[in-house]
A and B are shown apart, each in its own frame.
Chain A
Amino acid sequence: MSKFIEIQDLIFAYTDESGMAKCNAIDNVSFTVEKGSFLAVIGKNGSGKSTLAKNINALLLPTSGTVLVGGFSTKDEDHTWDIRQRAGMVFQNPDNQIVSAIVEDDVAFGPENLGIEPEVIRERVDRALENVNMGAYKKKAPHLLSGGQKQRIAIAGAVAMRPECIIFDEPTAMLDPSGRREVLDIIEELHKDGITIILITHFMEEAARAERIIVMDDGKIEMDGSPKDIFEDTEKIRALSLDVPPATELAGRLRAKGIDMGEIVVDEDDLIDRLTGSGK
C-alpha cells in the first residue's frame, strides 16, 4: 500500500490579533497514513486533533514542517484545490455545513465548484445519495431532517467530489445514539469501498472500529497503534483523561474477578464471542 498522507515535523500555532504566535496547537507531529486505511484520532478537548484535521485539508497551513496529501504539499497554493478535492471533510455540526435549501442541490455543491459537466454531476449526486441511503430524500429541505440524516447529507456532499480520503471531524458529537450508529455504519461502508478514512472522535467505541488509533495530548502524539495495542494500556489511556471502550472495561473487570478472558477485547462482538465461546 502506498502512503496517501505524509506529515513531517508539523508544528502549528494559532496567532492572536497582533499576529503573535500563541502556544503550539500541534507540536512536532510526524506520521503517515496508508492509502485505503482507517485511522481514528482521539484525545481530550484542546489536544489538537481538530487542528490536525484542518491542516490535512489545507484549511490551515503549517507554521513549520510539511503536510503532503497525495504527493502535494499543502503549502503549494497551486494544488490547494487538488488537495481539497482528494481529501474531503465532514464537520461536527451538520447544520453549519449544508449550503442549499434542497438536499440534492447541497450534494451537488462540491462537484459544481469543481466545474464538472451537469450530466456527470447528476449521476454523482444520485450515486452519493444512494451510498448514504438518502436517495428518497433528494428533493427535501435539510432543516426538516434529523441530525443523523443531515450528517449523512454532508457525507454525500463529500463523497460526490470523489475524494480518495475523507476526514471526519467529530461527525457524531451532536447526534443521538441512532444517528451515531447510522453515520458510523456509513463510514465503515466507505472504508470498504476503498476510501481512506480519518475519524476524529470523542467516542472510544467508535475509535475501536478503526484499524489504527493515534492518541493526541497537548499537540503531541502520545500513542499510535492498533485499537488492541492502545486499549491494552488502560492506565496510560486514563492518565490522558480518556476512557477505554465499554467492552474493554467490562472484560477488564471480569478478568479482575478471575475469569479467563483471553487477550484484550475492544468491541462488543469480540466480547460476546469471548463470553459465549468460552462456555462459561
Chain B
Amino acid sequence: MIRDITLGQYYRGESFIHDLDPRTKIVCTLVYIIMLFIAGTFWGLAFSALCLGVTVAVSKVPPAFIFRGLKPVFLIILFTFVLNMFMYDGKIIFELGFLHVTEEGLHKAFFMAARLILLIIGSSLLTLTTRPIGLTDGIESLLKPLNKIGVPSHELAMMMTIALRFIPTLLEETDKIMKAQQARGADFETGNIFSRARKLIPILVPLFISAFRIAQDMAMAMEARCYRGGEGRTRMNGMKMTAKDGVAWILIVLFAAALICERILLA
C-alpha cells in the first residue's frame, strides 16, 4: 500500500550509466537538453535520438519504464503538436473552417513533438539511473561555486534530502488523518470536484500542524547529533570521478560538437 511507494523513480540496476558520478550525469543531461534546442533539422534530432537510444540500451532500463515517464506529459505533447500544426502560414494541405494545416506547420509540429519527447526521455533517464540521494549530493556539489554569491547550496541539498525522506512519512500521516475523519463520517468520495476539494481542507489543516511538529522534533534530533550546517562537514560516500566518467565527458563533448556542426552546415 502507501508504504511501498518508491522514492523518485530510481530503477535499481548495474550498468555503465548507473556507475557514473551524479555530477557527470547531471551535466551531460543539461548539455543534451541544450543541444536538442541547437539542433535545427530532423537529421540533428535523428542523431540525438540514436545517441539516446544507445544510452538507454547501455543503462539496461527497460523501455517500459522510459515510456511511463512520457505518460503524464502526453497531453502537453499533443497540445504542442496541434498548436504548431495550425499556426504556420505556407502551402496549405487541407482546410477545416478557419483552421488550415500547412506543410510548414506539419513539419514544425513533428519537429517540436520529437524534441519534447527526446527531452523528457533524456531527463527521466537521469532520474531513473541516479539515486535521489546521489542527485541531491550532485546538485550540492555543482552549486558549491555559487556559495560565494550567496546561493546556499548545502542547505538546498539538505532540504531536498529531508523532503525525500519525509514523503512516505507524510503520506502515512495523510492516510491516518483521512481514516480518522472517515471513522467520524467524513465523505471524500462523492460530490463534484469543488465540493471534494473543499472536503480536503479539514485534512490539510491537521496535516500542516503535524508537519510542523515533525519539523520541530527533527530539528531537535539533528541538533542533538551535532548538525551545524555545511561548514566542516564531511561525507561518508564522497563522490569520485572515475575513468568511466572520463569516457562520458568525451562522448558528450563529441555529441555537442556534432550537433553544432549540424546546425552550422545543414540548418
Minimal beta-carbon separation of B262 from chain A (angstroms): 41
Could you tell me which residues of chain A, from 103 to 146, have a CB within 8 Å of some CB in chain B? 104-105, 108-118, 121-122, 125, 141-144
Known A-B contacts A109-B227, A117-B234, A118-B236; the reply to A96 vs B218 at CB < 8 A is yes
* Inter-chain contact A122/B221, CB cutoff 8 Å: no
How far apart sit A112 and B218, CA to CA, in the bound complex (Å)? Answer: 17
- CB contact between B223 and one of A59, A96, A102, A144 (< 8 Å): that residue: A59
Q: Mark A34-75, 1 if CB is under 8 A from B, else 0.
A: 000000000000000000001001010000000000000000
* Inter-chain contact A111/B236, CB cutoff 8 Å: yes
Minimal beta-carbon separation of B208 from chain A (angstroms): 16
Residues on B with C-beta less than 8 A from A95 are 169, 214
What are 18 inter-chain pairs, A to B, with CB distance below 8 A?
A81-B228, A84-B223, A85-B226, A91-B220, A99-B162, A99-B165, A99-B222, A101-B132, A101-B133, A102-B133, A109-B227, A113-B227, A113-B228, A114-B226, A115-B234, A118-B235, A121-B236, A122-B236
Chain B residues with a Cβ under 8 A of chain A = 3, 7, 131-133, 161-162, 164-165, 168-169, 172, 214, 217-218, 220-228, 232-238
How far apart sit A117 and B235, CA to CA, in the bound complex (Å)? Answer: 8
* Inter-chain contact B162/A161, CB cutoff 8 Å: no
Q: Could you list 14 further interchain pairs (A-B, Cβ under 8 angstroms) beyond the known A100-B165, A143-B3?
A: A84-B225, A84-B226, A91-B220, A99-B218, A99-B221, A99-B222, A101-B132, A104-B236, A108-B236, A109-B225, A113-B233, A117-B234, A141-B7, A161-B225
What does DSSP make chain B's interface, helix, strand, loop or mixed?
A: helix
How far apart sit A84 and B220, CA to CA, in the bound complex (Å)? Answer: 12
Q: Is there a chain B Cβ closer than 8 Å to A234's Cβ?
A: no
Minimal beta-carbon separation of A161 from chain B (angstroms): 7
Minimal beta-carbon separation of B51 from chain A (angstroms): 32
How far apart sit A230 and B1, CA to CA, in the bound complex (Å)? Answer: 47
Minimal beta-carbon separation of A10 from chain B (angstroms): 19
Chain A residues with a Cβ under 8 A of chain B = 54, 57, 59, 81, 84-85, 88-89, 91, 93, 95-102, 104-105, 108-118, 121-122, 125, 141-144, 157-158, 161
* Inter-chain contact B235/A112, CB cutoff 8 Å: yes
How far apart sit A109 and B234, CA to CA, in the bound complex (Å)? Answer: 9
* Inter-chain contact A59/B224, CB cutoff 8 Å: yes
